[in-house]
Amino acid sequence: MSILVDKHTRVLVHGITGMQASFHTKRMLAAGTNIVAGVSPHFVDGLYLNVPVFDNAKEAVLKTKANASLLFVPAQSVKSAVKEALEAGIKLIVSIAYGVPIFDVMEIHKMIKAYNAVLIGPNTPGIITPFEASLGVFPDNIFQKGHIGIVSRSSTLTYEAVLETTRAGFGQSTVLGIGDDMIPGCRFDQILKLFHQDEKTSTIVLIGDLGGTEEEEAATYYQNLPDKKPLIVYIAGYENSDDDIGYASDILTHGKTTIENKKNLFKKAGAIVIESIDDLSKVLKKI
């Protein structure tokens, strides 16, 4: 099994005729992703990369029963694309673009909540269930089917975690990046819940970062679980007491969102905290 996406997911690619979208759509199709539609206003050919292309998401969903939308649109167009997908009935949206205006993101969150949908991103490599569905820009050749679930705030470290789990011989159930932007579309605790509900995910890897309180919320959620799956946590970044790096969230929380605080909370909750991503494969072999 997996979370959020599998071989039955019917994918709509918004902006499919763009250069980056074209490149990654070819790769996703080659990996077996069930891409059933594309959206590209004023595209008149009907098919692109052998995928039916429509003028808008509503028509695409009506004709193809797409249930997930992957957005390859510029940052300033993300809000309107999300709105269009939600109004068409899409419940899972993945947004690749980085630098989406913060006020747009706040409005997007309201819409996502109102429609009871899930947003991955913005500024995410996407989500992948190896050999079933890949929605995003992942290099598919590093993945291996397995039982380790991975959720990360860092795109680069997501790939590192995949390589480490593959090196350990376990493979991955589902891997997703919640997004590197200031306000991610989904939360760590939300994804932890889904991984705990997935019977094929035996161990979870969480990669956090300095700033924000998502990790603290996830640690509290994990601590209160009656039946925990093993959780391995790596908090990226470093702290220098001589420098003021100006994280607004640290100011608002009176400095309580430090890396050490995040680590300590996870340790208290019963998670395994590693000091280097290179330690991941070693720890997995011991569980």
Domain chopping of the chain, boundaries: 11-120, 139-286
Mean residue pLDDT of the chain comes to 91
Q: Is the pLDDT of residue 45 over 80?
A: no
Beta bridge partners of 146: none
Q: Would the CATH topology of 11-120 be identical to that of 139-286?
A: yes
For residue range 130-144, what is the model confidence (pLDDT) as tens digits? 999 999 999 888 999
Top-confidence residue, 44 or 99: 99
Give the mean model confidence (pLDDT) for residues 69-95.
Answer: 97
Fold assignment, 11-120:
Rossmann fold (3.40.50)
Top-confidence residue, 259 or 9: 9
Closest CA to 192 of 220, 159, 161: 220
For residue range 188-204, what is the model confidence (pLDDT) as tens digits? 999 999 999 999 999 99
For residue range 27-40, what is the model confidence (pLDDT) as tens digits? 999 999 999 999 99
- What does DSSP assign to residue 173? E
For residue range 237-280, what is the model confidence (pLDDT) as tens digits? 765 544 444 444 444 444 456 899 999 999 999 999 999 999 99
Q: Which positions ≥6 away from 75 have C-beta within 8 Å?
A: 97, 98, 99, 100, 101, 122
Element (H, E) at 19: helix 19-30
Beta bridge partners of 156: none
Residue 251 has a pLDDT of: 45
- What does DSSP assign to residue 142? G
CA distances from 279 to 161, 171, 246, 259 (A): 10, 16, 30, 18
CA distances from 250 to 108, 166, 246, 258, 275 (A): 24, 35, 8, 7, 22
Residue 149 has a pLDDT of: 98
3-class state of residue 227 by DSSP: coil
Q: Is the pLDDT of residue 97 over 50?
A: yes
Amino acid letter, 192: L
Q: Is the pLDDT of residue 82 over 70?
A: yes
CB distance 72 to 18 below 8 Å? yes
Residue 175 has a pLDDT of: 98
Give the ranges where 120-202 is alpha helix by DSSP (H).
155-167, 188-197
Domain 139-286, architecture per CATH: 3-Layer(aba) Sandwich (3.40)
Residue 249 has a pLDDT of: 46
